[in-house]
Amino acid sequence: MEGNTTKKEHDGADSGKQCCSPHQRATPRRTEELKQLKNRLSRITGQLNGIGRMLEENRYCGDILVQVAAAESALQSFAYQILQEHMETCVAEEIRKGNLAVVGETVELVKKLK
């Protein structure tokens, strides 16, 4: 696949994982990594469904707000995990290639997270 590059793990060892290409806009993930991300997202979905049940049960506003804050925090943490992966793969590879425009793109992504 043209435009794909190899991801380096935290220790610098080649994992065989290909980075997202700016043309392809996809990031292949290992099966275990994908499973962990999907499990985490499922827990967040469960939290949101729980908030919906709390509304249906006319639960105390303060209790609902505490759960909303917990769900927001979990989603923010999930987003930062994806951002870290993006920076360690796609951004790092583009910088190695001399494409410094990726830094501005990443800054814009970070702005959208908060």
3-class state of residue 7 by DSSP: strand
Residue whose entry in the numeric block shows the structure tokens 């908030």: 51
Question: How far apart are alpha carbons 17 and 109 in whole angstroms?
Answer: 22
From first to last of the 114 residues of the chain, give the pLDDT tens digit.
334 444 443 333 344 455 655 555 777 788 998 999 999 999 999 999 999 999 999 999 999 999 999 999 999 999 999 999 999 988 999 999 999 999 999 999 999 987
